[in-house]
Structure 1
Amino acid sequence: MLGYIGRRILLMIPMIFAISIVSFVIIQLPPGDYLTTVVAQLSAQGDVVDQAQLAALKAQYGLDQPMIVQYWTWISRIVMDGDFGQSFIWNKPVSELLAGKVPLSAMLTISALLVTWVVAFPIGVYSAVRQYSVGDYVATTIGFLGIAIPEFLIALILMWVSLTYFGQSVGGLLSPEYRDSNWNLGKLLDLLGHLWVPILVLGAAGTAGLIRVLRANLLDELHKPYVIAARARGMRERRLTVKYPLRVALIPFFSTVGWILPGLVSGEVIVAQVLSLDTAGPLLLNALKAQDMYLAGSIVLIVSVLTVIGTLISDILLAWLDPRVRLRYR
């Protein structure tokens, strides 16, 4: 097992390096660069940009260099100094921008994940154990609706319900009077009052999907010979379900751990835009629209690295949960 983990970690290094190259190249593929966007905006306002000034700005931002030089400058600063570069849009270090967005994204992602697990686990088990009951049909219907309805539409509906019936606007994570104030009990309560909508929206599709997967896996295990044999020996149904089939059916819960880490940074971009959430998702979208290559490239690189690390953690957890995986490693 330790040898497997060591090999996986060694393979992560060239994989991350290749991901960084692909990410940087993809961001550079659209025609033009950040200054092209700036010139277009100034032209729309009737201003004229002098070519000498444009050349000076290109030299200042390093945009006059070949792509390979720009990439090497960017990646070498990250590896050597932990410097992700300067954001063109905000004129701030990328690390400073991410430090202000990532904690909120992390809080939302972890909260939505906990809600997903707490809701999906008992409903999925009940649907499998009580197959074709009224509760199973209700859970199945809700699950299909949760998968079918887009998350941004759920966000719009919840915003309308909150404003119409509770008189509270849930756009953003804080009310205007608390955004620039110090943290206190009032600000915390205001945050909690705004937090329930994005948590429900982000957890809706995941909850519905996990219910369906857990139900299907558990139903498949409940009809296997080892379960029938244990039932024939007189093992109590509840103990039988928890000890054997449920353990195997829990694999999807552990496999989704790999999605948590990248979600801490990226989040749901469309939902964040609809709800006006001050998280990393809209920051990435604005960086891509403005061709802010250092900001966009850094976010994409961080999300990719976290995806690789999260996948490794998921594999380790699955090996701990499932003896068949450990035996295959040996």
Structure 2
Amino acid sequence: MLSYVIRRCLTMIPTLIAISVVVFVIIQLPPGDYLTSQLAEMQSQGENMPQAQLEHLRQQYGLDRPLWEQYLFWAWGLLQGDLGWSFEYNLPVNDVIGDRVLLTFIVSFATIIFTWIIAFPIGIYSATHKYSWGDHGLTLLGFLGLATPNFLLALVMLYFANVWFGTSIGGLVDPEFVDQPMSWAKFVSVLEHMWIPVLIIGTSGTAAMIRRLRANLLDELRKPYVVTARAKGLPPHRVLVKYPLRVALIPFVADIGNLLPEFISGAALVSVVLSLPTTGPMLVRALQTQDMYLAGSFLMLEATLVVIGTLVSDILLGFLDPRIRLGAGAER
């Protein structure tokens, strides 16, 4: 196992280098740069920027350098923990995304916990009570959750909160804590406001997880080893937990690599609708304005979490399923 982890960690280095090159190429694909898009926006409003000032800013931000030199400058900063400079905010990226990353992590982590707490008991019940009234009712709710877009649910909740209660449920903190550093009072305010985005974002994820767990568990419960265990008189709960449930959880453990990036990206559309101060709207805005270092830093953070999450899921799968062999014995 140790040799496997070491080999995987060494493999992550060229993988992340290749990803950084791809990310840098992608954020450079749109024509022009941040200053070009800003100049076009100013001209649409009847304003203009002197050419000398434009060239000075391009030189100041290093946008006049060759692309390979810009990439090396950005990559070297990433190795040192410096995510670069945000052109739009005129601040280091580290300062711009600081609190937003923390708030996004809190919301995303709470959403994942909410999804698991709701989905696992319902999925197990639906599989063990196949075609019962409860299974049909929960299946209907699951299909409704899958068919309803999160951003549409957010719009509906905003409307009814305003009509019925005369209040707005947007935002993640009270107005006095906006743009304030994290404190205990602000953290308590986040917890008070967090249940609404967690409920909205977790709806579709919960429905999808219920359907997947039900399908996986039903497939396992029909296999001969489960029938044999029942014939030997083992208690139903022991038959369920011993192997079928463990095997049914394998796809969810394998999805850890896809869950970790949500800690950074969050649900961008829902965040825009609910005016959440998370990283999703900031990433969308950075891509729109070609704020290359801000957008590139977000994408690199997500890619790094995918690589780390894949490693963690592979290791956990080795413990969860004895049939999976890691390390030197994997080839035999």
Does the alignment reach a TM-score above 0.5?
Answer: yes
Separation in structure 1 between the aligned mates of residue 172 and residue 65 of structure 2, nearest angstrom: 41
Q: Do the aligned partners of 1:110 and 1:260 also contact (CA within 8 Å) in 2?
A: no
Matches within 5 A, 1:1-330: 1-79=1-79, 81-179=80-178, 183=183, 190-326=189-325, 329=330
**Residues 12 and 261 of structure 1: is their aligned pair in 2 closer, same or farther, counting only changes over 3 Å?**
same
1:200-240 deviation per Cα after TM superposition (whole angstroms, max 9, x unaligned): 11111111111011100110011100001111111111211
Could you tell me the percent identity over the aligned residues?
Answer: 52
Report the secondary structure of 1:71's partner residue: helix
> Partner amino acid for 1:250?
L
Report the secondary structure of 2:261's partner residue: helix
Separation in structure 1 between the aligned mates of residue 123 and residue 78 of structure 2, nearest angstrom: 44
Q: What is the Cα deviation at residue 192 of structure 1?
A: 3.2
Q: How many residues align?
A: 328
Separation in structure 2 between the aligned mates of residue 144 and residue 222 of structure 1, nearest angstrom: 23
Separation in structure 2 between the aligned mates of residue 194 and residue 260 of structure 1, nearest angstrom: 23
Q: What is the Cα deviation at residue 304 of structure 1?
A: 0.5
Report the secondary structure of 2:299's partner residue: helix
1:105-129 deviation per Cα after TM superposition (whole angstroms, max 9, x unaligned): 0000100000000000000000000
**Residues 112 and 224 of structure 1: is their aligned pair in 2 closer, same or farther, counting only changes over 3 Å?**
same
Q: What is the Cα deviation at residue 54 of structure 1?
A: 1.2
Separation in structure 1 between the aligned mates of residue 254 and residue 201 of structure 2, nearest angstrom: 18
Separation in structure 1 between the aligned mates of residue 160 and residue 72 of structure 2, nearest angstrom: 51
Separation in structure 1 between the aligned mates of residue 286 and residue 99 of structure 2, nearest angstrom: 16
Report the secondary structure of 1:11's partner residue: helix
> Partner amino acid for 2:203?
A
TM-score by length of 1: 0.95
1:62-120 deviation per Cα after TM superposition (whole angstroms, max 9, x unaligned): 111111111011101221x3211110000000011121211100000100000000000
**Residues 310 and 181 of structure 1: is their aligned pair in 2 closer, same or farther, counting only changes over 3 Å?**
closer
1:134-188 deviation per Cα after TM superposition (whole angstroms, max 9, x unaligned): 1101111111111111110111122223333344311111232343668465x55
Structure 1 runs not aligned, ≥5 long: none
> Partner amino acid for 1:3?
S
> Partner amino acid for 1:139?
L
Q: Do the aligned partners of 1:4 and 1:329 also contact (CA within 8 Å) in 2?
A: no
Separation in structure 1 between the aligned mates of residue 23 and residue 196 of structure 2, nearest angstrom: 32
Separation in structure 2 between the aligned mates of residue 90 and residue 319 of structure 1, nearest angstrom: 45
**Residues 15 and 205 of structure 1: is their aligned pair in 2 closer, same or farther, counting only changes over 3 Å?**
same
> Partner amino acid for 1:74?
W
1:217-267 deviation per Cα after TM superposition (whole angstroms, max 9, x unaligned): 110011100001111111111211111211111223322322332111111
Q: What is the Cα deviation at residue 48 of structure 1?
A: 2.4
> Partner amino acid for 1:53?
Q
> Partner amino acid for 1:316?
I
RMSD: 1.7
**Residues 85 and 215 of structure 1: is their aligned pair in 2 closer, same or farther, counting only changes over 3 Å?**
same
Q: What is the Cα deviation at residue 314 of structure 1?
A: 1.0
Comparing 259-268 with 64-73, greater Cα deviation is found at 259-268
Separation in structure 2 between the aligned mates of residue 163 and residue 216 of structure 1, nearest angstrom: 39
Q: What is the Cα deviation at residue 41 of structure 1?
A: 1.9
